[in-house]
Chain A
Amino acid sequence: MKELDLVTVLTVLHDILGSALFFGLPALAVLGIVAFVTTVVRERGLRARRLFISQVLGVVGGVLACCLMTRVAASGTVSPNGAADWLLFATVFGLGLAGSTILFYGVIGWFSRKSHS
C-alpha cells in the first residue's frame, strides 16, 4: 500500500466500525481521560481504594472490548487459533482494561465529589 495515508486508514476504519462506534469510542476515550486527569489534579494524587475498584471494573471493560471487536469484525464467527489471534485479543483486552479503568476512576471520582458537596 504505497500511498496509504491517514485519511484512507480512517475511512476504512469508519466503514468497519460504523459511524456510532467510529466517533463514539474516541469521544468516550477523551471524556474518560478528561475526567481522570481532572479528578487526579483536584485530589492531588490517586486514591488506592478507588483505583482498585476501577481496575476490577476495567477487567469487565476489557472483556466487553473483546466482545465488541468480535461482534464488529468477525461476521458472527470467533475462532482464535494462532499466536497472532491471541495477540490481537490480548491487545484489545489491554486497551479495554486500561481505557475503562481510566474512565471508571474519573466517573467514580466525579460522583464522589458530587456526593461530598
Chain B
Amino acid sequence: MTEPSIASLRRRHLLSLAAAAALLPSTAAHSTERLKTQARIVIVGAGAAGLSCAARLARALDGASITIIDPRQQHLYQPGYTLVAAGIKGADYPISTTAEHIPAGVQWVAERVSEIDPEARSVRTDQGQRFDYDFLFVTTGLVLDYAAIEGMDESLIGREGIGSIYHSPQAALATWQQMSRFSETGGVGVFFRPASEIKCAGAPLKYTFLSEDYLSRRGTRGKSQLIYHAHNKGLFSVPVVNEKVKLLFRERGVQVHYERVIKAIDPARRIATFTTPEGTVEQPYDFINIVPPMKAPDAVRNSPLPWQSGPWAKDGWLEVDKHTLRHVRYPNVFGVGDIAGVPKGKTAASVKWQVPVAVDHVLADIAGKSSNAHYNGYTSCPLVTRLGRAMLVEFDYQDNLLPSFPGAIAPLEELWVSWVLKTSALHPTYIQMLRGRV
C-alpha cells in the first residue's frame, strides 16, 4: 500500500484552510457518509481511469477491499505528448510515479494481469497471484500495434524522418527533433491515422497543423508539401468539426487523400505504402508521423469480455453498455477509459465523465439500490491548430457540441484562451481527476 506524498497532503490541507478562510462552501463530496461493505473490488490497470476509480471508491466505501493491479512504475499524462512533440514541453512533463497517485486504503499490486475469468470472478497475474472479486473494473488502456505496419519497428522512432507522438514521452521528444529538423529544411511531410479505434483521434490532425505552422515560421513552407491520408471519407467524426478542419486544411495548403490506410513503411527508401479502394499507393516522405493501429491488451482479448461481433470485436474492446459502462454479459464488470467498446472518446476527458457513472453504479449495487447515472458520450478535444491557437471541441455520442463555456469560448473558433487551457490548465485538472476530485 502506498500513501500519498506528505507534501501533497500538506498542500491540500493548506488550501483547505485557504478555502475555509474565504468563507466559501465546500461541496457535499467531502461530507457524504461512507458506505460500509466487505466487497472485494479489483481494478485492472492504474492509468487515468483506474486511478480515478480507485480514488472515488476509496473515498465512498468503508471496509471494502480495493486492489489495483498494474506493473508500471511511471504514470504518464498522455494528453501532454503532443506538447512534447511540438517542442512546447520537455520530455519529463508527462511523467509522474504511479505510487504518488495510489489513494490511501487501496492495495497496489505491481504485477501484470495475464488472465481474466469473469465466470470464476477472478483475475490472475503473470506472477501467479489470483485475486477474486465481487466487482471488477477493467481499465487496462490499450496497446499500440506498431507491428501491424509492415517494416515498422518502435526503435525507428526518431530516425530516418520517422516520428510517432503516441508511443512515450521519449518518443514524443524524438518526434519533435525529427519534425524540427524537417521544418528547417522543408520537404514532404506525411500524416495519417489508422483504421482502428485510436485514442485522442484529434492528435494526428493537431500534429499536421503544428508541423505546417513550424514550416511557415521557419520560412520553408514554400518548398514543402504536407499530405494527410484519412482512413475513411472524413477527417473528424463530428460533421461540423470535419467541415471546419477541411476548411483549415484547404486554407493552409494541406493536401488530403481519403480512404487510405497505412500498410507498410520502408525507412531506407523513405516510402510509406497505403491501401486504397483502387489498390496500394506509395507515398514518399521526408518526415512522417506514424500513428499505429491500436487494440485491447492480450489479457482482455483472450478473455470472454470483448465484443463477440460488430465493429469492436476484432480489436478486443470491452462489450459494455455505452451509457453505464457496465458489461453487457457480466453485470459486475465495468469497462472504463480506452478499453471500453463505446462509439466515441478514448480521451482523458471521457474518463473524467465515465468514472463517476461506473462508480455510481457499483455503489448502488453494493447499497442494494439502482443508479440512474448516465454517460452521454461526452469527450473533449482541444484541437491545436497552430502554436498559440486551439479550438476547444467538446461533443457527445450524438455529435452534439457541448461547450463548457457557452457564449464565451466558441467550439469552432481558433482561440488563444483554448491554447492556454490546453497547455496550462488541463494538466493540473487531470491530476485532480486522478484524485477523484473532478
Contact = CB atoms under 8 A, between A and B. Distances in A.
A15 B420 CA distance: 14
A101 B13 CA distance: 34
A10 B18 contact: yes
A25 to B, nearest CB: 13
A18 to B, nearest CB: 11
A81 B414 contact: yes
Given A14-B11, A77-B419, 17 more contacts: A1-B352, A5-B29, A6-B24, A6-B26, A7-B12, A7-B19, A7-B26, A8-B437, A10-B15, A11-B432, A12-B425, A16-B425, A72-B424, A73-B424, A79-B387, A84-B409, A85-B417
14 contacts: A1-B352, A4-B438, A8-B432, A11-B12, A12-B428, A16-B425, A73-B424, A74-B419, A75-B88, A77-B419, A78-B388, A79-B389, A82-B415, A84-B415
A15 B18 CA distance: 15
Nearest to A8: B437
Contacts of B437: 3-5, 7-8, 11
A69 B29 CA distance: 32
A6 B23 CA distance: 10
Contact of A75 (B30, B83, B410, B414): B83
Interface residues of B, number: 43
A7 B356 CA distance: 19
B236 interface: no
A116 B432 CA distance: 53
Given A7-B26, A10-B18, A76 B88 contact: yes
A87 interface: yes
B27 interface: yes
A7 B437 CA distance: 9
A2 interface: yes
Contacts of A2: 356
A28 to B, nearest CB: 16
B408 A87 contact: yes
A29 interface: no
B99 interface: no
Contacts of A75: 83, 88-89, 419, 423-424
B416 interface: yes
A61 B132 CA distance: 62
A93 B420 CA distance: 17
Contacts of A85: 415-417
B237 to A, nearest CB: 24
A80 B147 CA distance: 42
Contacts of A11: 11-12, 15, 428, 432, 437
A78 B115 CA distance: 50
Contacts of A12: 425, 428-429, 432
A34 interface: no
B431 interface: yes
A5 B416 contact: no
Contact of B423 (A5, A6, A7, A74): A74
B417 A84 contact: yes
A74 B388 contact: yes
A81 B22 CA distance: 35
A5 B356 CA distance: 16
Contacts of A76: 88
A85 to B, nearest CB: 4
B59 to A, nearest CB: 11
B413 interface: yes
B427 A84 contact: no
B297 to A, nearest CB: 30
A75 to B, nearest CB: 4
Contacts of A3: 27, 29, 356, 437-438
Given A6-B24, A10-B15, A82 B29 contact: no
B391 to A, nearest CB: 10
A16 B423 contact: no
Contacts of B16: 7
Interface in A1-48: 1-8, 10-12, 14-16
Nearest to B392: A84
Given A2-B356, A5-B29, A8-B432, A79 B419 contact: yes
